[in-house]
């Protein structure tokens, strides 16, 4: 029987993380590198990717390649996949973490452009990149695709309905990928609840705290590094018999009464 540190070892592996320059993506990048993986850190702003790549490389010795990537642009998927394979010759872990949920006044005020943008970034992008990388994984030694959805996929509010619709589609995408690229490629999904990442700086944190204490069984939002356990599980051999799974890490909030 392997020891825990061996089960979660990612030495010799290559991970591509979209939305990887901050928030949950950055925490996953740091964790993967600390467990031996080399990285492609992709996000819309190349400068932010470069800064994090340099930090992680200095901390861990991992090889980290930054890349500009917009999940809503179809052609960016091909460009990112090609960059990763040109840099490393392989991809073992793909994390589709890039996402967005813009504010709007009410449902009737949602424009066609906003609707399309939300669906493109949150659903079309993960589909395209997963197809491009999944095909190559399946033709080689296999790998792990990790999608990141949201509790909005199962409990959407009027303030994030297009986003919740897209993230629900990510659940369907996960199940489809698990079948499409089996048995060599595993596809799973992390479903986070409210996390105190950069986006929470725009929240009324006192109001959030009061609401969390009333509606979330663990009575708080998640800290960014609390995504690490789920990410390492799906990325590593620890989840070797797990595919098509959707793991919620939300403090228990998703199934609570509205």
CATH number reported for the structural domain that contains residue 19 in this entry: 3.40.50.720
Quick check: is 256 in a domain? no
Structure tokens at 235: 């990325």
* Exposure of 173 in the CB half-sphere (CA atoms within 13 A): 26
By C-alpha distance, which of 129, 165, 120 is closest to 147? 129
Question: Is position 91 within any domain?
Answer: yes
In a domain, 204, yes or no: yes
Looking at residue 4, its pLDDT comes to 67
How high is the pLDDT of residue 41? Answer: 98
How many separate domains does the chain show? 1
Long-range contacts at 206-209 (CB < 8 A, ≥ 24 apart): none
pLDDT at 100 over 90: yes
Q: In which domain, by residue range, is 196 found?
A: 4-248
pLDDT, the chain, mean: 93
Give the residue numbers marked as catalytic. Answer: 163
Please give the residue that has the higher pLDDT: either 198 or 187: 187
User: Does 190 or 208 have the greater pLDDT score?
Assistant: 190
Q: Report pLDDT digits (tens) over 133-157.
A: 999 999 999 999 999 999 999 999 9
19 φψ region: left (φ > 0), alpha (ψ -120 to 50), beta (else): left
In a domain, 48, yes or no: yes
Question: Which three-class secondary structure state does DSSP give residue 1?
Answer: coil
pLDDT digits (tens, 9 = 90+) for 9-26: 999 999 999 999 999 999
Mean pLDDT over 29-45 rounds to 97
Confidence class of residue 202 from pLDDT cuts 50, 70 and 90? low
The answer to whether position 65 is within a domain reads: yes
Predicted local confidence at residue 212, as pLDDT = 75
* Percentage, residues of the chain above pLDDT 90: 81
């Amino acid at each position: 029987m392997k020891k825990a540190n061996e089960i979660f070892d990612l030495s010799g592996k290559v991970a591509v993380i979209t939305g990887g320059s901050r928030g949950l993506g950055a925490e996953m990048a740091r964790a993967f590198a600390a467990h031996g993986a080399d990285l492609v850190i992709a996000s819309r702003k190349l400068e932010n990717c470069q800064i994090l790549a340099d930090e992680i490389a200095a901390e861990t010795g991992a090889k980290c390649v930054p890349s500009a990537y917009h999940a809503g642009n179809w052609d960016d998927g091909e460009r990112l996949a090609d960059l990763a394979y040109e840099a490393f010759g392989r991809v073992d872990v793909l994390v589709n973490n890039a996402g967005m949920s813009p504010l709007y006044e009410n449902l009737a005020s949602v424009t066609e452009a906003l609707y399309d943008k939300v669906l493109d970034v949150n659903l079309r992008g993960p589909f395209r990149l997963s197809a491009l990388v999944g095909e190559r994984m399946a033709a080689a030694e296999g790998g792990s695709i990790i999608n990141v959805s949201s509790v909005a996929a199962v409990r959407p509010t009027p303030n994030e309905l297009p986003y919740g619709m897209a993230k629900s589609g990510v659940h369907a995408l996960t199940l489809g990928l698990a079948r499409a690229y089996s048995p060599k490629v595993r596809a799973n999904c992390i479903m986070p609840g409210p996390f105190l990442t950069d986006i929470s700086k725009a929240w009324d944190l006192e109001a959030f705290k009061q609401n969390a204490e009333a509606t979330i069984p663990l009575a708080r939002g998640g800290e960014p590094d609390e995504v690490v356990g789920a990410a390492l599980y799906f990325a590593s051999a620890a989840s070797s018999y797990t595919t098509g799974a959707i793991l919620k890490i939300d403090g228990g909030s998703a199934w609570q009464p509205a």
